[in-house]
Amino acid sequence: MKRILSGIKPTGAPHLGNYFGMMKPCIALQEQGEAFYFIADYHALTTVRDPEAMREHTRGVALDFLACGLDPVKAVIFRQSDVPEHTELAWILSCFTPMPMLENCHAFKDHLAKQKTPVHGLFAYPVLMAADILLYDSNVVPVGRDQKQHVEVTRDIAGAINRTYPKAGHSPGGDGLFVIPEPSIIPHVATVVGLDGQKMSKSYDNTIPIFDAEKPMRKKIMGIVTDSSPVEAPKDPSVSTIVALYRLFAGEADVEKMEADFRAGGVGYGDFKKRLFDALWEYFRPMREKRAALAADPTHVDGVLASGAARAHAVASATMERVRRAVGLR
């Protein structure tokens, strides 16, 4: 059976990019194998400095995931720091990771380009991510396109270690110490655009959180950046942020209608934004209702995360035992 694994950082409220790029594909994949999804709090510690915010976002992201359809019986959902083997394996992997490979990673390069001094945790981030993936003998890693490079780093590190220990105990179903994972990226939603037309990201302050209250969500949609074409002018749907977002959750006929209205002219951007808001609000209505029901019992999420941690730990500790033996630490 296929192992599926992905993680999301508790750095804020999940937005449309997180949902369509990662959460929705993860939820679909829980039907197709043994899925492990975790809240990457060790990763978030590279930037989050407020302990209360860290705890709050960790529970919030878990709640959002459950509300969106993650089934904690089918999939294992857990908090990364509840399974300390992640950091133990990260150290071992770092002993095999060439520095230039990490110097080439985009998050690190972006930091340098902005003249910021990266912390070591940011530099080593791809190694911790490789540990997350390899610890569970994962075959498939559903992520947004920006994470593809990190899965490639994971494949390179795992390949190097497999070649170093050709006689080591094999991973179940694999042909070396580690299983070599594949990224899984949904092509047409590979990058969800934000309010300003750039990639939607918490770091650009251009997000639409999926569970925003009605007023702020409406305000954000009405604030989408457009050109200054007058109402009567024909407009180009292929370059519009409104259409790009609408495509994510409107039916085909509604999308065609919006595109035709763009080309015909006579409808202003304000009207298109209202259509977008209505579709968005309806799309998330059942999930919003489920979230409210789940949030009514604050102990529910903690219980789900505790049982997820126990299930994850059982797998992680077996892998670590295999790895320690292979490299001579036992």
Least separation in angstroms between residue 7's CB and ligand ADP is 8
135 counts as binding ligand ADP under rule CB under 6 A: no
Return the number of the residue (40 or 161) whose C-beta is nearest ligand TRP. 40
| Piece in contact with ligand TRP (CB under 6 A), picked from 47-55, 125-133, 235-243, 312-320 | 125-133
Pick one of 3, 4, 6, 76: the residue that binds ligand TRP (CB under 6 A): 6
210 counts as binding ligand ADP under rule CB under 6 A: no
Least separation in angstroms between residue 318's CB and ligand TRP is 19
Give the 3-state secondary structure of the chain.
CCEEEEEECCCCCCEHHHHHHHHHHHHHHCCCCEEEEEECHHHHCCCCCCHHHHHHHHHHHHHHHHHCCCCCCCCEEEEHHHCCHHHHHHHHHHCCCCHHHHHCCHHHHHHHHCCCCCCHHHHHHHHHHHHHHHCCCCCEEECCHHHHHHHHHHHHHHHHHHHHCCCCCCCCCCCCCCCCCEEECCHHHCCCECCCCCECCHHHCCCCECCCCHHHHHHHHHCCCCCCCCCCCCCCHHHCHHHHHHHHHCCHHHHHHHHHHHHHCCCCHHHHHHHHHHHHHHHCHHHHHHHHHHHCCHHHHHHHHHHHHHHHHHHHHHHHHHHHHHHCCC
9 counts as binding ligand ADP under rule CB under 6 A: yes
Pick one of 60, 72, 126, 144: the residue that binds ligand ADP (CB under 6 A): 144
261 counts as binding ligand ADP under rule CB under 6 A: no
CA 200 to chain centre: 12
- Give the per-residue contact string, 149-188, with ligand ADP (x = CB under 6 A; - = no): ----------------------------------------
3-state DSSP helix/strand/coil percent for the chain, to nearest 5? 60, 10, 35
Pick one of 3, 4, 5, 11: the residue that binds ligand ADP (CB under 6 A): 11
209 counts as binding ligand ADP under rule CB under 6 A: no
143 counts as binding ligand ADP under rule CB under 6 A: yes
**Which of ligand TRP, ligand ADP, none does 60 bind, CB closer than 5 to 8 A by kind?**
none
Count residues near ligand ADP (CB under 6 A). Answer: 18
- Give the per-residue contact string, 144-183, with ligand TRP (x = CB under 6 A; - = no): ---x--x---------------------------------
CB-based contact 11:40 (threshold 8 Å) = no
Pick one of 34, 64, 85, 132: the residue that binds ligand TRP (CB under 6 A): 132
Residues that bind ligand TRP (CB under 6 A): 5-9, 40, 43, 129, 132-133, 141, 143, 147, 150
Residues that bind ligand ADP (CB under 6 A): 8-9, 11, 17-18, 21-22, 143-144, 146-147, 191-192, 199-203
